[in-house]
Chain A
Amino acid sequence: MLHSLALVPGFALLGFLIVLVVGRKLGDPKAGWVGTGAILGSFVCTLLTFFGLLSRPASNRFYIENLFSWIPVGSLHVNIAFLADPLSMTMALFVTGVSTLIHLYAIGYMRRDRDFPKFFVYFNLFVFSMLVLVLADNFVLTFLGWEGVGACSYFLIAYFFEKDSAATAGKFAFIVNRIGDFGFLMAIFLIFAHTGSVTYQGADLGALGQSCASGSGGHLLHCGLSSGTLEAICLLLFLGAIGKSAQLPLSLWLADAMEGPTPVSALIHAATMVTAGVFLMARVGPLLSHAPIAQDVIASVGVLTAFVAATIGTSQNDIKKVLAYSTVSQLGYMFLGIGSGAYVAAIFLMVTHAFYKALLFLGSGSVIHAMGDEQDIKKMGALRKYMPITSFTFIIGWLAIAGVPPFSGFWSKGDVLDGAFAKSPILWAVGALTAILTAYYMGREVYLVFFGQSRWQSRANNLSQVEPGKNHDSHSEPHEPTWLMWLPLVILAFFATIAGLLNLPFTAGIGYLDRWLTPVFGTSHLAISTSGKWLLAAGDGVLAISGVVIAASLWRNVWNRPKLEPKFLQDAWGLYSVYEYLVSKPAQAIAKISNNVVETKVIDGAVNSSAGLVGWTGLKLRKLQSGYVRNYALGISIGVVLVLVYMIVRA
Chain B
Amino acid sequence: MSISGNWYLVVSAILFSIGAVGLLVRKSVLVMFMCIELMLNAVNLAFVTYARMLNDIAGQVVVFFVLVVAAAEVVVGLGIIVSIYRSRRGTTADDLHILHG
**Chain A residues near B (Cβ < 8 Å):** 621-630, 633-634, 637
Contacts and interface: CB of A to CB of B under 8 A. Distances in A.
B20 A626 contact: no
A627 B99 contact: yes
A370 B100 CA distance: 84
B101 A624 contact: yes
B20 A637 contact: yes
B32 A629 contact: yes
A633 B96 contact: no
Nearest to A621: B101
B3 interface: no
Nearest to B94: A628
B24 A626 contact: no
A630 B24 contact: yes
Contact of A625 (B20, B23, B94, B100): B100
Nearest to A624: B101
Contacts of B20: 637
Contacts of A633: 23-24
A625 B101 contact: yes
A627 B23 contact: no
B100 A627 contact: yes
A628 B24 contact: no
Interface secondary structure of A, over-half rule: helix
Contacts of A637: 20, 24
A549 to B, nearest CB: 96
Contacts of B27: 630
A628 B32 CA distance: 13
Given A622-B101, A626-B100, A627-B99, 11 more contacts: A623-B101, A625-B99, A625-B101, A627-B96, A627-B98, A629-B32, A629-B94, A630-B23, A630-B24, A630-B93, A634-B24
A68 B24 CA distance: 79
Q: Looking at chain B's contact residues, is the secondary structure mostly helix, strand, loop, or mixed?
A: helix
9 contacts: A621-B101, A625-B101, A626-B97, A627-B97, A627-B98, A629-B32, A629-B94, A630-B23, A630-B93
Interface string B82-101: 00000000000110111111
Nearest to B99: A627
B25 interface: yes
B34 to A, nearest CB: 14
Contacts of B99: 625, 627
Which of B25, B96, B97 gathers the greatest number of chain A CB atoms within 10 Å? B97
A626 B24 CA distance: 15
Interface string B9-51: 0000000000010011101000010000000000000000000
A639 to B, nearest CB: 12
B25 A630 contact: yes
A531 to B, nearest CB: 104
Contacts of A622: 101
B101 A629 contact: no
Contacts of A627: 96-101
A629 B80 CA distance: 14
B7 to A, nearest CB: 22
Contacts of B101: 621-625, 627
Contacts of B97: 626-628
A627 B92 CA distance: 12
A648 to B, nearest CB: 15
Closest 6 CB pairs of A and B: A625-B101, A627-B100, A627-B97, A622-B101, A629-B93, A627-B99
Contacts of B32: 629
Contacts of B98: 627
Contacts of A628: 93-94, 97, 100
Contacts of B93: 628-630
A627 B100 CA distance: 4
From B27, B32, B98, B101, residue with most partner A Cβ within 10 Å: B101
Most chain A CB within 10 A, of B20, B99, B100, is at B100
Nearest to A618: B101
Contacts of A626: 97, 100
A621 B100 CA distance: 11
A622 to B, nearest CB: 4
Interface in B56-101: 93-94, 96-101
A623 B97 CA distance: 12
A623 B101 CA distance: 7
A629 B25 contact: no
A637 B23 CA distance: 10
B24 to A, nearest CB: 5
Contacts of A629: 32, 93-94, 96
A634 B25 CA distance: 10
A633 B26 CA distance: 11
Contacts of A621: 101
B95 to A, nearest CB: 10
Contacts of B23: 630, 633
A634 B100 CA distance: 16
A634 B97 CA distance: 15
A152 B100 CA distance: 65
Nearest to A628: B97
A622 B99 CA distance: 11
- Output the residue of A623, A624, A629 with the most chain B CB within 10 A: A629
B45 to A, nearest CB: 18
Nearest to A626: B100
Nearest to B35: A633
Contacts of B24: 630, 633-634, 637
Contacts of A624: 101
A633 B101 CA distance: 17
B12 to A, nearest CB: 15
Contacts of A634: 24
A393 to B, nearest CB: 87
A622 B97 CA distance: 13
A628 B94 CA distance: 6
Nearest to B101: A625
A96 B43 CA distance: 92
A628 B25 CA distance: 11
B58 to A, nearest CB: 21
Nearest to A623: B101
A630 B25 CA distance: 7
A508 B49 CA distance: 115
B6 to A, nearest CB: 18
B85 to A, nearest CB: 16
Nearest to A622: B101
A631 to B, nearest CB: 9
A622 B100 CA distance: 8
